[in-house]
Structure 1
Amino acid sequence: MKFRNFIKDRIAYTTVYIISTCTVTLIMYLTLIINGLRFPIDNIFYAFIISIAFYILFLIYDYYRNKNFYSQLNLILNEEKDLDYILNIGTPNNSEQEMFKKVLLKLYKLSGDKTIKYEEAHKQYIYFVNQWVHQMKTPVSVINLLLQEQVNEEQREVFQSISEENEKLAHGLDMMLYNARLNEFNLDFNVESLDIISIGRKVINDNKKSMIRHHIFPKITTNKEMPVETDRKWIYFVINQIVINAIKYSKSDSEESKLITFDVNEEASKTTLSISDQGIGIPKEDISRVFNAFFTGKNGRKTSESTGMGMYLAKRVCDNLGHEFRVNSEEGIGTTFSIIFHKGKNIFNF
């Protein structure tokens, strides 16, 4: 708190002090006049000035006595400080400050109790989600195995539709599982050096049925290994989400074939994986909001399958891993998502 703000807060005290001093002085002066005693007006003026001077000195003393306390409060307001710093704001100089500190401690205790209850409920929820998703994956896998059995030509189209819907269900379960685990990211990751091209090939292999069904073909522009520092499971999720989106927004009713291109550019300080499709593209007005939760945009209104969560989760994963995640698109031409892996520094954020 600055001195001028300190003075402003005490304008009412100063006004009352001046009025009361003037009133007492006036009463004493009138009493002397009534009793026929003469008292020099200059002496009254000097006494008033001295009284005001003592009052000003007291205000200055009071401000500097509490300046350390005010400075700490100001530091807490203007800078990011943890709870330990906030609760140790210094020794109170009066009962008001002591009460203020006790209120802070009580609020901390109440909020701590509520946080513990919330964390316990959240852990139970995460446990339930994990168990439920794993239970649901079993029938999904069984359905997938049953669909692989030989069927006659009349049933083939029906079984193919069921298989496609089963893939969507499996993808939705995976997305829910990753979303549940994302809040405890630091407990569920393992950084290692791995070939990003091999991860891309695995994603392609896992989505080959869907690609063949919609006449979409993958293209990898390099055959050599491209090592990057990342987590295998989480980066697989990101690349898989990009490919699923590429298939979703590239498929059409025509027999025209389209490409999904994997391109890797290696530099001294970074490695960039770019995945490009030849789909409908993202409208210019939607580009800035692609990574927002639940945002589906113009294309989402055309495709009922869109949830607006895939790219949001992929962006959060990349942020936690310290990888940059960018998008470049032109409506009617296609979309390119780029993951930038930086080298030689600790970049993980969680």
Structure 2
Amino acid sequence: MNFKDFLKDKIPFAVIYFLATAAVILVMYLTLIINKIELMNNNILYAWLISIIFFILFLIYDYLKNRHFYNQLNVMLNAKEDLDNILNIGNCSTHEQEMFKKLLLKTYKIYSERTIKYEETHKEYINFINKWVHQMKTPVSVMNLILQDEINEDNRAVFDSILEENEKLSHGLDMMLCNARVNEFNMDFNVESLNIISIVRNVLNDNKKPLIRSHVFPKVTTDAAITVETDKKWIYFVINQIVVNAIKYSKLKIQDNKYITFKIKAKNSKIILSISDEGIGIPKEDLNRVFNAFFTGKNGRKSDESTGMGMYLAKKICDKLGHEILVESEEGKGSTFSIVFFKGKNLFKF
């Protein structure tokens, strides 16, 4: 609190003080008139002047006495770090300030205890989700193996349909696991130099069956092997999510052969991975909300597989890794998602 704000708080006090002073002078003036004693106007002015001087001196004294307390409050209000490092008001000059300090400390203590309980509950929830997802992925993988062994010409259509649904279940479990872990990102990442093409090929290999079923063919264009600094697991999830969406919305378009094109190019201090599809595209009015949580948009209503979380998580992961993700699209012609890697910059280099 500065001196100007201090004066604003003292306005009610000043009004009462000067009204009381005026009342005292008026009573004295009337008393002297009743007793037929003449009172000079100069004496009234002197009384007002002395009262004002004492009032100003009192304000200065009161502000100087409490300045340290006010400064500490300003530090606490403006600080961006943990309150544990700044919650030290110091000595209090009045009983009111002492009570305020005790109230603040008590409130902070209650807040800290509740935060600790919440963090413990959240950690238990995350551990449960991690274990549950891993337990569910095991039977999903076993089902895939059984189905592949049992497929023959008589039951291929049925088993292919079951395999497709099983892949959706597996992808959903991966997304759930990612959503649970992304808030604990600092505990679960490892930045290293990676050949981005090898990540793209791993994603394509893991999506080989959906690509074949949907008659979508990948094309990779690059001049040479390009390395980027990123986390292998997290960037795999981002690229995989873009590819899964590209397949999902490409198969909605009536066309014999559709392509997903991967282009990697170095540009000044950037390395850009562009993933383009020939699907139904994104409506212009939905482009600005593609990365919003739970947003499915016009296209999401055409597919019952859309959750609105995939691209939200992709954007969140890229932000945490220090990358940039962009989208361009034209309805009816396809979409292009670009991941921008900045040369020489990662979570430890800025």
TM-score scaled by length of structure 2: 0.93
Q: Which moved more, 1:111-120 or 1:145-154?
A: 145-154
The one-character-per-residue Cα deviations of 1:12-32 (angstroms, maximum 9, x if unpaired) are 211221122222222233333
**Secondary structure of the residue that 1:123 maps to in structure 2?**
helix
Shift of 1:105: 1.1
Which ranges in structure 1 are unaligned for 5 or more consecutive residues? Answer: none
1:343 aligns with 2:343: yes
Contact 2:203 2:236 in 1 (8 A): yes
Once superposed, what is the RMSD of the aligned Cα atoms?
A: 2.0
In structure 2, the residue matched to 1:282 is 282
Show the counterpart of 1:83: 83
Equivalence for 2:61: 61
The residue that corresponds to 1:105 in the other structure is 105
Matching residue of 1:317: 317
Q: CA deviation at 1:56?
A: 1.9
Asked if residue 257 in structure 1 is aligned to residue 257 in structure 2, the reply is yes
Maintained 8 Å contact 1:238/1:317 = yes
| 3-state SS in 2 of match to 1:303 | coil
Deviation at 1:255, TM superposition (A): 6.0
The 5-angstrom pairing of residues 152-171 of structure 1 reads 152-171=152-171
- Structure 1 residue 79, shift from structure 2 partner: 5.5
Matches within 5 A, 1:4-19: 4-19=4-19
Please state how far the C-alpha of 1:36 moved relative to its aligned partner. Answer: 4.1
Does the aligned pair in 2 maintain the 1:87–1:101 contact within 8 Å? no
1:114 correspondence with 2:121: no
Between the aligned residues of both structures, percent identity stands at 66
SS of 2:294's equivalent in the other structure is coil
Instruction: Out of 67-76 and 105-114, give the one that drifted further.
Output: 67-76
1:253 to partner: Cα distance:
7.3
Kindly state the Cα deviation for residue 89 of structure 1 after the two structures are TM-superposed: 3.9
Count of matched residue pairs: 349
- Measure, in 2, the Cα distance between the counterparts of 1:98 and 1:127: 43
Q: Distance in 1 between matches of 2:150 and 2:30?
A: 118
Does the CA-based 8 Å contact 1:320-1:348 persist in structure 2? no
1:185-204 → structure 2 map (5 Å cutoff): 185-204=185-204
Question: What SS class does the counterpart of residue 264 from structure 1 fall into?
Answer: strand
Kept in 2: contact 1:274–1:338 (CA 8 A): yes
Separation in 1 of the partners of 2:193 and 2:52? Answer: 75
For 2:241, the equivalent position in structure 1 comes to 241
Listed as ranges, the matches of 1:86-235 within 5 Å are: 86-222=86-222, 224-235=224-235
Would you say the 8 A contact 1:321–1:348 is kept in 2?
A: no
Distance 2:278 2:68 in 1: 64
Contact 1:273/1:339 (CA < 8 Å) preserved in 2?
yes
Q: How far apart, CA to CA, are the structure 2 residues paired with 1:197 and 1:297?
A: 31
Task: Measure, in 2, the Cα distance between the counterparts of 1:28 and 1:339.
Answer: 84
**Aligned residue type for 1:169:** L
Deviation sequence 1:212-270 (CA, Å, 0-9, x none): 01100111112732111111111111111110000000014756111111110113422
d(CA) in 1 for partners of 2:199, 2:54:
79
Question: After superposition, what is the alpha-carbon deviation per residue over 1:142-193, rounded to whole angstroms, capped at 9, x for unaligned?
Answer: 1100111243433111101000000000000010011111111111111111
